[in-house]
Amino acid sequence: MNGFPWAAFGQGIGAAAVAALAVMLVTFAIAVARGLHRIVDIAWGIAFTAVALVSYAVSAGEGDEARRLLVTVLTAVWGVRLAGHIAARGRGHGEDARYEAMLAKAPGHRNLYALRMVYLLQGALVVLVSLPVQAAQYARGPLGPLAYAGCALWLVGLFFEAVGDRQLARFKADPANRGRVMDRGLWSWTRHPNYFGDFCVWWGLFLIVCDAPVAAAATVVSPLVMSFLLINGSGKRLLERHMADRPGFAEYTARTSGFFPLPPKRSECGEGR
């Protein structure tokens, strides 16, 4: 796996940054027009998809075609599914409480503050987290065992994300569950099947580039950053802080794994998210 084309990869990062920025700026314009910044969450998956497609286009002729196509398709499937799910979940709702609270304390103009602290920051994170996807476009050797293991881990992640999201949506759609904590299905094995799924997806995509050890070493920061965000950043930690006072949540946390799936400590259902 010698001869990784670092110069072409660097140019590709520039193209990926332009793609991510374009998605975020278009989303910002739409959000300002609608007075609804929660739509930036939809742009997260779209931006990763755009980066994957642009990276595939600008790297033509550089890397192994099977790996290039594989990592592009896997990223796009994940990104489009996530964007569609978030769009459907937010339809008919007002501003997200997280953004409302943040913008209420914004110094100066709310929209300009949102542009700096939400849209541009998320665009930068997209470029950083997607580095393995970009690097995989330039890896020249054939797919190896690590790449196949990455595909398997990606499938596990997509399963946890899609099934977990579907189970939670059905639970919330039942008026009888209003105010209750979701503790069924995958949610009885982990308090965050969707975040765990995201974790698996990005470590899986990273494994696809691990056939090129130097490129893998240069991009391992990406799944590490995503893992931190999911567990200690804006994912698990922030959501659990928001739900701490929910009736039944303390009992739910006592019997259910915080992140990695494990059998529940006892079988009976709690007062149920």
Q: What is the DSSP track for 202-243?
A: HHHHHHHHTTSHHHHHHHTHHHHHHHHHHHTSTTHHHHHHHH
**Run of H or E residues at 38:** none
Rounded mean pLDDT of 87-96? 88
**Predicted local distance difference test score (pLDDT) of residue 273:** 47
Domain that holds residue 187: 144-273
46 pLDDT higher than 70 = yes
> Angle at the Cα of 14 (from 218 to 146), degrees rounded to 5?
35
- At 270, the pLDDT band (50, 70, 90 cuts) reads very low
Q: What is the DSSP letter of 119?
A: I
Say what the pTM is: 0.93
Indicate the number of domains in the chain. 2
- Rounded distance, CA 123 to CA 26, Å? 12
Show the tokens assigned to 136: 């995989």
Residues 137 and 148 in one domain: no
- Per-residue pLDDT of 54-71, as tens digits, reads 999 999 999 999 999 999
Residues 98 and 158 in one domain: no
Q: What are phi and psi for residue 222, nearest 5 degrees?
A: -65, -55
- Rounded distance, CA 13 to CA 27, Å? 21
- At 245, the pLDDT band (50, 70, 90 cuts) reads confident
Domain boundary, last residue among 85, 108, 142: 142
> Comparing 204 with 270, which gets the higher pLDDT?
204
Residues 129 and 149 in one domain: no
Tokens 């209420």 appear where? 104
Residues 230 and 248 in one domain: yes
Domain boundary, last residue among 90, 109, 142: 142
Residues 108 and 134 in one domain: yes
**Predicted local distance difference test score (pLDDT) of residue 1:** 43
Closest Cα to residue 206, out of 261, 158, 124, 134?
Answer: 134
Residues 2 and 108 in one domain: yes
Residues 122 and 157 in one domain: no
- At 161, the pLDDT band (50, 70, 90 cuts) reads very high
Residues 133 and 155 in one domain: no
Residues 192 and 269 in one domain: yes
- Per-residue pLDDT of 93-143, as tens digits, reads 888 878 888 888 888 889 999 999 999 999 999 999 999 999 999 999 999
- Per-residue pLDDT of 186-222, as tens digits, reads 999 999 999 999 999 999 999 999 999 999 999 999 9
Residues 178 and 135 in one domain: no
Residues 196 and 178 in one domain: yes
Domain boundary, last residue among 142, 167, 191: 142
**Predicted local distance difference test score (pLDDT) of residue 266:** 66
Work out the mean pLDDT of the chain and round it to a whole number.
93
What residue type is assigned to position 104 of the chain?
A
Residues 135 and 170 in one domain: no
